[in-house]
Amino acid sequence: MDFLNALILLLNYIFVPALAYGSQLAIGAIFVTLIYGILRFANFATGDMMSFGTMIAILFTWYFQSLGLSLWFLPTALLALPFAILFMGFYMLIIDKFVFKYYRLNKSPPVQLAMVSIGVMFITQAVVRIIIGPSDRRFFDGEKFLIKANEFKEMTGLNEGLAIKSTQVITIVVTIILVSTLFWFLNKTKTGKSMRAYSDNEDLALLSGIDPKKIVMITWMIAAILATIGGVLYGLDKSFKPFTYFNNMLPIFAAAIVGGIGNPFGAFLGGYVIAFSEILLTYAYKKFFMYVLPESMEPDSLIQLLSTDYKFAVSFSILVIVLLYRPSGIFKGKIL
Amino acid sequence: MKKNLNVIVAYSIMMGLIILVGIFQSWNIALSIFNLCLISAVMTMGANIQWGYAGLINFGIMGFTALGGLAAVLISVNPVQEAWSAGGTNILLSLFLIIGIFLAVRFVLKRYQKSKIRNYIITAIIISGIIIIRFVSEPGIEAIEEVNPARTGFLGGLGLPIIFSWIVGAFFAGGLAFVIGKVALGLRADYLAIATLLISEIVIAIIKHEDWLTRGVKNVIGLKRPAPYEVNLQETEWFINLVEKFNSGKLALISDITERQAALNQFVIEGSSVFVKLCYSGLFLFVVIILLILTQKALYSPWGRMMRAIRDNEEAANAMGKNVVKQHLLIFVLGSAIVGIAGAMLVTQDGLFTPGSYRPLRYTFLIWVMVIVGGSGNNFGAILGGFVVWFLWIEAAPIGLYLVNLTTAGLEDTHFLKVHLIESVPYFRFLMMGIGLLLIMRYRPKGILPEKIEIK
């Protein structure tokens, strides 16, 4: 029984939250990796693009709520998602036309594009803050828990409860659907294959008649989908605050690089690597050992490897270690 | 003379703008803008050395700034004796342990051939060392943080004049840069950018949460000053006389004696804060000029030519027998050290150390905007960039307010759009920075004052 309790404890405090957080990071990391692989620059506006998409989704959510629309037990934001993605795609294309296109056509070095993306970051951040303000916003509605801790305790008779928030389930389900569709698209369809070819060798791809304009446009569209969905899932699970989104760029970058930048599958797994290591290393294992060990050996301290303050630092340290020993990431990067 | 015309014109316009702020807003504001412009100029010089001379992207400026600030705290604050006696031995022991681990790892690295076993041994040494250090340091840290937590709760510093911290800050930042450089300089440009950005976040996390060293988010306030205090100035004879002399014209107009005294008091209060800011300006200007002379000399020296050669064609420079790795490391350390000086200067001027205020947007990306806008590779350009961008950063809110009022003039004052826009005026500065950066990068990619190479 104690063993089961310990297991539920880990499931409740580590596995489920890390899986949800990892999914959110993974979507962002695929976004980064896609831009890096096809458009060939490190996009420092990642976090802010995600917050822009989320902002649009929130505005639509408010509009739908004022109309009285809802999705039964699901959050209204899911209904707003397609509209937000459309808007976001439009926004991405405008940015590309007025900002990135010039440098792409001039074949500027990636560093210059990265600098330009900082300009985009500033502007997007300003627009988001001017439109919706810098404050913390919750836009989740609908059923909050799928399984409540108390219900679980009653159901199983265990000491430890397992609470699963519906946002966590939504996150995981949406991620699975989104990522599998994306991989199917990249690997099986003609457009996806041409994207991969373009990423692998631009000149060769152009020679074989691939239209670069189309590739770039589709890339931005996919980026819009990823940015909006990733941002909305994070916002539903936690809350929407522009500054947090900007900061989330850092673990997302870490995830993309750890997985091997330019490699979507690596980025996908990188998200989970980062999320699990963050939570595993900062969790206090005292209770777990109380269940597992006999009473005489019970620990007095918290058995916490690192204080939770260092959550971000953990993922960055992993990144540094990976960069040192395998600069191309866990999965070899640069093959889309 | 003629070839430097654009430099002179650009700087005169900049100074003119600051003087205009002095006339229309107040001299206090103008001087505080000027001081922060000078500090920004030091930071941009550091970034410019790395990016403009050598083409290294350092997105870790925030971390080096914070380390400079930490130096200011550790140098100037008086030591907290109780804290030292409570937990000092544990901390010192941990320090020795860290050095011990470092030496042990080095020994293993030198002594044994590269192999899997060696890697395992090193990992084992580091992990066991960290565990031991935690056991040693934890009681010490707890004891230190319990000593009068409302006022101290940390070890304090050395109690030296704060000016020394400018040099120490440079050493701190340079030391960190050495470690980072050893680790990360081999990476490609954009990887390096991301890696330095993340490492600087780690530095901030440590500064924020190691309360025994830095007081963390509880902040350190009331640091020593290299300039006199306003309150003392207001009571000194010569200063009052000086203010009286300056304002004699205005004072002569007031006939009533008590009123004149009141006016004089007002002038003295205003004058004291202006005077203090002027003291800082003098100190900062001194640093900027010395650094400018040094960096200009370096730029036109054989070493500067070599750096440009490495920047423009690494392989060719390598083939000519230049040690690219070593030079990159050197310039990374030098540039970061200059940023460290700026960090210490910033804390000196504020008189307080707030780890929570170090954010990448303000301390990394804004500095980069300054370098790009001003002109990378040109020291005068970088300094000008610091001035222009900081000036805009501060004055963006008034300009934004003016623009909002102008565009919404047709709307009533209570109209929701107008109210909303006026509330969000502070964010117009981000918009301005972004648009400015994009326009400069598009239409004047070399910055306001472009790099020019003259062979002397």
Of B295, B358, B301, B225, the closest CA to residue B41 belongs to B295
- CA B308 to the chain's CA centroid: 25
Is any Cβ of chain B less than 8 angstroms from the Cβ of A15?
A: no
Q: Which of B187, B199, B434 sits opposite A120 (nearest CB)?
A: B434
Reading phi first (left if > 0) and then psi (alpha if -120 to 50, else beta), residue A109 is in beta
Nearest residue of B to residue A307, measured between CA atoms:
B209
Contact A122 B205 (CB under 8 A): no
On chain A, the residues whose CB falls within 8 A of the CB of B441 are 112, 115-116, 119
| A51 pLDDT more than 90 | yes
pLDDT band of A326, cuts 50, 70, 90: confident
Measure A323 CA to nearest chain B CA, in Å. 8
Query: Per-residue confidence of chain B (456 residues) as pLDDT tens digits?
Result: 566 888 889 899 999 999 998 888 888 889 999 999 999 999 999 999 999 888 889 999 999 999 999 999 999 888 888 888 888 888 888 889 999 998 998 888 888 887 888 888 888 888 888 888 888 888 888 888 887 777 777 887 888 888 999 999 999 999 999 998 988 887 777 788 888 998 899 999 999 888 888 888 888 888 888 888 888 888 888 888 888 888 777 777 877 888 888 888 888 888 888 889 999 999 999 999 999 999 999 988 999 889 988 888 888 998 988 899 999 999 999 999 999 999 999 999 988 899 989 999 899 999 999 999 988 888 999 999 999 999 999 888 888 888 888 888 877 777 888 888 888 888 889 999 999 999 999 998 888 888 876 554
Q: Is the ipTM of this complex over 0.90?
A: no
Q: Give the chain A residue whose CA is nearest to the CA of B138.
A: A301
Q: What is the pLDDT of residue B453?
A: 66
Minimal CA separation from A100 to chain B, in Å: 10
Q: Supply the Cα-derived Rg of chain A in whole angstroms.
A: 21
Digit-coded pLDDT (tens) for A210-254 = 899 999 999 999 999 999 999 999 999 889 999 999 989 989 999
pLDDT in tens, A89-112: 999 999 999 999 999 999 888 888
Of the pLDDT bands very low, low, confident and very high (cuts 50, 70, 90), residue A333 is low
Facing A323 at nearest CB: one of B190, B191, B431: B191
Q: Could you confirm whether domain A2-325 is CATH 1.10.20?
A: no
Amino acid (1-letter code) at residue B238: W
Q: Are B215 and B145 in contact (CB under 8 A)?
A: no
Token pair listed for B248: 């004699």
- Among B105, B119, B183, B194, the strongest candidate for a mutation testing the A interface, having the largest count of A CBs within 10 A, is B194
Contacts with B320 (C-beta within 8 Å, 6 or more apart), sequence order? B309
B108 contacts B129 by C-beta, under 8 angstroms: no
Close Cβ partners of B440 (under 8 Å, ≥ 6 residues apart): B372, B373, B447, B448
The residue of chain A nearest to residue B206, with distances taken between CA atoms, is: A310
Residue A145: strand, helix, or coil: strand
What does the domain layout of chain A look like in residue ranges?
Answer: 2-325
| A169 pLDDT more than 70 | yes
Residue B220 pairs in a beta bridge with B353
Query: B103-119 b/e with 16+ CB inside 10 Å = b?
Result: eebeeeeeeeeeeeeee
Q: Where are chain B's structural domains?
A: 39-79+156-223+287-358, 80-154, 361-456
What pLDDT shows up at residue A336? Answer: 42
Q: How far apart are CA B427 and CA B227, in angstroms?
A: 34
Q: Is B30 helix (H, G, I), strand (E, B) or coil?
A: helix
Read off the pLDDT of residues A12-50 as tens digits, 9 standing for 90 and up.
Answer: 888 999 999 999 999 999 999 999 989 888 999 999 999
The overall average pLDDT reported for chain A is 87
Q: Whole-prediction pTM value?
A: 0.90
| SS3 per-residue string spanning A192-261 | HHHHHHHHHCHHHHHHCCCCHHHHHHHHHHHHHHHHHHHHHHHHHHCCECHHHHHHHHHHHHHHHHHHCC
In three-state secondary structure terms, B92 is helix
Partners of B418 on chain A (C-beta within 8 Å) are none
